[in-house]
Amino acid sequence: MAFQNQVLFAKDSVYIHINVQDAKDKDAHIAGRVFFLKKPEGYFIEWKAEEVLSLETQNEEWDVIGSVGYKNDRDADSVTMNAKMDARRKYNISFDILDLKSFKRSAPNHGWAYIIFILKDGSTFPPLHFHNGGSKALLKELENFIHIRRSPNDPRLFIVNDHDPEMLSKSFNELAIFSDSSGALVQKFIKDPYTTTLGGFSKVTNFLRDVLMTPENQIERPQSEVAELLQDDIPGMEISQMEDTGFEVVTKTKLPPRPSVKRSDPLTAMQWNAFFDSEGRITKVEELKDIIFRGGLDPAIRGDVWKYLLNFYDWDSTSKKRQDQRKRKVDDYFRMKLQWKTISAEQERRFSLLKERRGLIDKDVMRTDRTQKFFSGDKNPNLQVLYDILLTYCMYNFDLGYVQGMSDILSPILVVMENEVDAFWCFAGAMERVCHNFEMDQNGMKVQLSQIHKLMQVYDPELCAYLESHDSGNFYFCFRWILIMFKREFHFHEIQRLWEVIWTDRPCTNFHLIISLAILDTEKSTLMENKFGFTEILKHINDISLSIPLEETLCKAEGIFLQLKEFKKLPAPVKEILGLLPLPMSVSMENSIFMSASSHQDIKPENGGQRVDTPQLLATGGGGGGGGGATAGAGGLSHSGSGTQLSSSNSGRSLVNSNMDSSLEILDDDAKIFT
Amino acid sequence: MAAGPYNYSYIFKYIIIGDMGVGKSCLLHQFTEKKFMADCPHTIGVEFGTRIIEVASQKIKLQIWDTAGQERFRAVTRSYYRGAAGALMVYDITRRSTYNHLSSWLTDARNLTNPNTVIFLIGNKCDLDAQRDVTYEEAKQFAEENGLMFLECSAKTGENVEDAFLDTAKKIYQNIQDGSLDLNAAESGVQHKPATPRNPITTDQPPNKENCSC
């Protein structure tokens, strides 16, 4: 064959770690093989899943040349189903090394080495984990074809030197430093002289950086330095010293040094039970929240504790009161559910808004977390529960209705609660915190994105100026993070941990914005040294989803908060965002939206009833209405049936247990009219 | 060793717009992966797909921006139109409301891109002919009246999907050749890359199926 692929390097036992709920699941890691290939059209790095390879390689003949061969250790009789193959295949990686912009290596004290490849257009591949070594050898091979230098700011980051004749001319184009029309600039200057001037200066800086960093001006790095990256243990690059580079930035902005922060173990069932007094009231609520903030919850008690975090129960309630609360919530839920269940097809023809919402929910339910076992498979009954809760929420909050993203918020809650009514009310509680994100005018989103901007201006003016001068000062690239509280950025089990930490409202108001700063801080060198522009920033931030280390990020975020808090010259607007002002009586409308009452518990601890009063609202509605009696009956049935509540009775992980069925039978008769 | 810094000659930016649930992400997925993904999660903000194609023996990298469809997210998605060389405007042939909203999508596309942006109208889900709610003829007429290219496609079966993406690229390439698209304009949506093939380009190469990095 004239145009065979030549294998210059190949290595087995290179894994991609994928999103699965159970980390022990054997599917959590996809085994694969990494190749460095010479193809007719260029030099390629590829990664293929073992299972895909075992079928595909039968038809391909690859010449193995060079010293590094590979052992044929594939399981000959491994039978894989097509669906699984497709799922595997979608992780396949293949790129021309001419597209390679940079790569990130794992920290030296990380168990095994991993490499994250980043392309010129901002595409970022999932980390390739070399469980059996080989990363060094691959990079060494690569080094024969491209020039690599280490980032001066991030020891894990390596940049490919690109001999691109375009680069210099591009830099000169950017010499149009103040590209805004002069009139607009003057306007901006009058409004905000500080930012406008610095913004302009930052463009100068960026221009200089671009020119200074073009290959033409690049002093050839000593061979020894490049050799360094080929060693598994990079000398002098311990984690603690990596943080030293962080201190440099800190000195520049005169923030106090970032204290090291430790996370703890999750709250256990035993600890949790010890918090209750004889009447079933939780004692020492603040201490409890501190523990949850510091370590999250053991999955076994997650469903119980979330009910408090999400305002289903009051923190100071007795067992007796909770029984009443729950009964009322069950009744209220089924009353609202009955409201839409009893709308006939005839009625719906003249109720286009409801019809439209049904359509939207129907579409999104079919494509929400279908890779999770809980929602996978055809005709999975849990999809119906998702649908019912979302449509009932439309009756609960008709003005808001259904907006894309809500199903993402509900899905992890439903998985934890395993009960329709509990999931609905916890979802309503979670929505209370984020409903401004979904409003028609999107003001809530705009406010938060501008708050990230304000925080960044103080925390890291350099990165802030860079983003501004690369059309990214609006922080739209963080949109998905904020809209659904990082739901798509972390693995499913991690998002449950993250949310319970955020729901403690510690250590400050709007901690999720600080988490955004922490993630951006980690990506800073990648964004700036690769000289990413608007598109590449957006693409890179999109692509790092599911590879952001949660606990590390939480530590960093808390550290950043402590730095800001200790900063003597912290501007008042930033204090306001973080809830650090004594009593924000005259808070501007803009900021007040996100200072939900619950978040001021640092100031007024133990004030239980200050959260938005969903239960009370419902209580007043509970008894009224002609159909209420029948519904209450149905609800009561369900209540007693699902009294055991949690995971102890989760046979088959389907929510539609027999009790639920019987309670819904009454409703289903009505429902048949229009299905 | 490699001589040229890029393995393609041009980058074209596309944007896919249209109501939620019309199949924007599925069209993209079908084009880049040649697969139908029924449970593809709904897009929040924007997602990207890329594929290298060949037009007039030039390698062109398509960088495709796939946007969220719900009305209230338009404020954000509008910021992604800038510099698109091609806009794929999608409706669902089984839902008239998605067709009725086209004029509003078209207004955005016209206002937020440059005058040379090629706008391609796609009537998706043509495999569901039995549930058809919008006729081919009326959509064709709408397209003609507004100077749009038009095809009915199916992201599920793959019918016409390739053509929609490729025809758009051909039209853009034609605009470059006849000089109506100025590559030096700030937001033409096209970047010319000085590709210097390292090896003679072969004609018997299979299509570039593995260049998706979305």
Measured CA to CA, the distance from residue A606 to residue A283 in angstroms comes to: 10
Q: Tell whether A99 lies on the interface with B, counting CB pairs under 8 A.
A: yes
Taking 70 as the threshold, does the pLDDT of residue A61 lie above it? no
Residue B176: both structure tokens together: 């470059």
Q: Tell whether B73 lies on the interface with A, counting CB pairs under 8 A.
A: yes
Mean pLDDT of A161-188: 47
What does the buried/exposed string (b/e) look like for A372-411 if buried means 16 or more CB atoms within 10 Å of the residue's CB? Answer: bbbbeeeebebbebbbbbbbbbbbbeeebbbbbbbbbbbb
Measured CA to CA, the distance from residue A130 to residue A187 in angstroms comes to: 55
User: Is the N-terminal amide bond of A507 cis, ω within 30° of 0?
Assistant: yes
Phi, psi of A644 (to 5 degrees): -70, -15
| Highest mean pLDDT of the ranges A165-169, A433-437, A588-592, A647-651 | A433-437
Residue A16: both structure tokens together: 């991609």
Measured CA to CA, the distance from residue A675 to residue A304 in angstroms comes to: 35
How many angstroms separate the CA of residue A433 from the nearest CA in chain B?
Answer: 19
CB A405 within 8 A of CB A437: yes
Residue of A nearest to B81 (CA): A535
CA A284, A285, A287, A291 dihedral sign is: positive
Taking 70 as the threshold, does the pLDDT of residue A654 lie above it? no
Does B5 sit within 8 Å of A480, measured CB to CB? no
CB A157 within 8 A of CB A150: yes
**Nearest CB to A121 within list B41, B63, B69:** B63
CB B8 within 8 A of CB B193: yes
Collapsing DSSP states into helix, strand and coil, what is residue A477? helix
Residue in B210, B212, B214 to test binding to A, most A beta-carbons within 10 Å = B210
Which positions in chain B touch A165 (Cβ < 8 Å)? Answer: 5, 194
Q: How far is CA B105 from CA A583, A631, B26, B84, B125, in A?
A: 46, 44, 19, 14, 19
Give the residue ranges of DSSP H helices in B113-160: 136-145
Closest CA to A133 of A227, A27, A17, A232: A232
Measured CA to CA, the distance from residue A412 to residue A422 in angstroms comes to: 13
Mean pLDDT of B109-115: 94
What does the buried/exposed string (b/e) look like for B13-44 if buried means 16 or more CB atoms within 10 Å of the residue's CB? Answer: bbbbbbbbbbbbbbbbbbbbbeebbeebbbbb
Which residues of A, range 513-572, sit inside 8 Å of B by Cβ? 535, 538-539, 542
Residue of B nearest to A164 (CA): B5
Residue in A539, A544, A546 to test binding to B, most B beta-carbons within 10 Å = A539
Decide which of A39 and A365 is more confident. Answer: A365
Closest CA to A348 of A363, A356, A403: A356
pLDDT at residue A207, rounded to an integer: 47
Which positions in chain A touch B50 (Cβ < 8 Å)? Answer: 121, 123
pLDDT at residue A163, rounded to an integer: 58
How many angstroms separate the CA of residue A94 from the nearest CA in chain B?
Answer: 6
Helix (H) or strand (E) holding A145: none
Q: Please report, rounded to a whole number, the percentage of residues in chain A having pLDDT higher than 90.
A: 54
Q: Tell whether A43 lies on the interface with B, counting CB pairs under 8 A.
A: yes
Does A95 sit within 8 Å of B44, measured CB to CB? no
Closest CA to A87 of A27, A10, A23, A26: A27
Q: Tell whether B185 lies on the interface with A, counting CB pairs under 8 A.
A: no
Mean pLDDT of A122-128: 91
Dmax over CA atoms of chain B, in Å, equals 57
Does A480 sit within 8 Å of B45, measured CB to CB? yes
Measured CA to CA, the distance from residue A31 to residue A15 in angstroms comes to: 5
Mean pLDDT of A356-370: 95
Residue of B nearest to A477 (CA): B45
Taking 80 as the threshold, does the pLDDT of residue B59 lie above it? yes
What does the buried/exposed string (b/e) look like for B195-214 if buried means 16 or more CB atoms within 10 Å of the residue's CB? Answer: beebeeeeeeeeebebbbbb
CB atoms within 10 A of CB A286: 13
Q: Give how far the C-alpha of residue A38 lies from the chain's centroid of Cα atoms, to the nearest Å.
A: 37
Measured CA to CA, the distance from residue B33 to residue A527 in angstroms comes to: 28
CB B43 within 8 A of CB B68: yes
Q: Tell whether B68 lies on the interface with A, counting CB pairs under 8 A.
A: yes
pLDDT at residue A436, rounded to an integer: 96
The bridge status of strand A63-64 relative to strand A6-17 is parallel
Q: Tell whether A111 lies on the interface with B, counting CB pairs under 8 A.
A: no
What is the DSSP secondary structure assignment for residue B201, as one 8-state letter?
P
Which positions in chain B touch A3 (Cβ < 8 Å)? Answer: 202, 204-205
Decide which of B185 and A132 is more confident. Answer: A132
Which positions in chain A touch B75 (Cβ < 8 Å)? Answer: 442, 446
B35 pLDDT tier (thresholds 50, 70, 90):
very high
Mean pLDDT of A528-553: 95
Q: Tell whether B46 lies on the interface with A, counting CB pairs under 8 A.
A: yes
Give the residue ranges of DSSP H helices in A254-380: 269-273, 285-295, 299-309, 319-341, 345-349, 352-365
Residue A562: both structure tokens together: 């402590």
Q: How far is CA A567 from CA A554, A572, B152, in A?
A: 20, 12, 60
Residue of A nearest to B11 (CA): A121
CB A164 within 8 A of CB B191: no
Closest CA to A627 of A392, A342, A345: A342
pLDDT at residue A18, rounded to an integer: 73
Return the C-alpha torsion angle A95, B81, B46, A465, nearest 10.
Answer: 80
List the end-to-end C-alpha distance of chain B, in Å, as a whole number.
Answer: 28
Dmax over CA atoms of chain A, in Å, equals 84
Give the type of residue at B31.
F
**In the A/B pair of chains, how many CB contacts fall below 8 A?**
121
Q: Tell whether A163 lies on the interface with B, counting CB pairs under 8 A.
A: yes
Region label for A110, one of left (φ > 0), alpha (ψ between -120 and 50) or beta (otherwise): beta
* Bridge partners (DSSP) listed for residue A457: none
Q: How far is CA A109 from CA A112, A237, A265, A525, B21, in A?
A: 8, 9, 21, 20, 46
Measured CA to CA, the distance from residue B47 to residue A257 in angstroms comes to: 37
Kindly report the average pLDDT of chain A as a whole number. Answer: 76
Region label for A26, one of left (φ > 0), alpha (ψ between -120 and 50) or beta (otherwise): alpha
- Which residues touch A189 (CB under 8 Å, ≥6 apart)? A196, A197
Residue A215: both structure tokens together: 């290959």
A192 pLDDT tier (thresholds 50, 70, 90):
low
Does B42 sit within 8 Å of A356, measured CB to CB? no
Does A474 sit within 8 Å of B79, measured CB to CB? yes
Closest CA to B92 of B21, B34, B157: B21
Residue-wise pLDDT tens digits, A9-44: 999 889 988 754 444 555 578 889 999 999 888 899
**Nearest CB to B39 within list A99, A356, A370:** A370
Q: Give how far the C-alpha of residue A77 lies from the chain's centroid of Cα atoms, to the nearest Å.
A: 39
Decide which of B67 and A621 is more confident. Answer: B67
Which positions in chain B touch A535 (Cβ < 8 Å)? Answer: 13, 63
Q: Which of A23-27, A330-334, A492-496, A661-665 has the lowest mean pLDDT?
A: A661-665
Residue A307: both structure tokens together: 């009910």
Residue in A5, A36, A41, A538 to test binding to B, most B beta-carbons within 10 Å = A41
CB A319 within 8 A of CB A280: yes
Residue-wise pLDDT tens digits, A469-504: 999 999 999 999 999 999 999 999 999 999 999 999
Closest CA to A275 of A265, A285, A261: A285
**Nearest CB to B211 within list A94, A125, A484:** A94
Residue-wise pLDDT tens digits, B157-176: 999 999 999 999 999 999 99
Measured CA to CA, the distance from residue A397 to residue A376 in angstroms comes to: 29
Closest CA to A657 of A489, A422, A458, A408: A422
Give the residue ranges of DSSP H helices in A149-283: 166-173, 182-191, 193-213, 223-229, 239-253, 269-273
Which residues of B, range 2-41, sit inside 8 Å of A by Cβ? 2, 4-7, 11, 13, 20-21, 33, 35, 38-41
Helix (H) or strand (E) holding A36: strand A29-39
Q: How far is CA A128 from CA A17, A18, A29, A233, A425, in A?
A: 8, 11, 10, 18, 40
Q: Tell whether A604 lies on the interface with B, counting CB pairs under 8 A.
A: no
A457 pLDDT tier (thresholds 50, 70, 90):
very high
Q: Tell whether B52 lies on the interface with A, counting CB pairs under 8 A.
A: no
Kindly report the average pLDDT of chain B as a whole number. Answer: 88
Q: Tell whether A173 lies on the interface with B, counting CB pairs under 8 A.
A: no
Residue A138: both structure tokens together: 């691959």
Does B20 sit within 8 Å of A483, measured CB to CB? no
Helix, strand, coil in percent for chain A, rounding step 5: 55, 10, 35
Q: What's the ipTM?
A: 0.88
How many angstroms separate the CA of residue A540 from the nearest CA in chain B?
Answer: 10
Mean pLDDT of A354-381: 94
Does B45 sit within 8 Å of A165, measured CB to CB? no
Q: Tell whether B207 lies on the interface with A, counting CB pairs under 8 A.
A: no
Which positions in chain B touch A90 (Cβ < 8 Å)? Answer: 33
CB A667 within 8 A of CB A339: no
Q: Please report, rounded to a whole number, the percentage of residues in chain B having pLDDT higher than 70.
A: 87
Q: What structural domains and CATH numbers belong to chain B?
A: 10-202 (3.40.50.300)
Collapsing DSSP states into helix, strand and coil, what is residue A159? strand
The bridge status of strand A6-17 relative to strand A128-130 is antiparallel
CB A298 within 8 A of CB A646: no
Measured CA to CA, the distance from residue A567 to residue A24 in angstroms comes to: 43
Does B201 sit within 8 Å of A479, measured CB to CB? no
Mean pLDDT of B203-207: 41
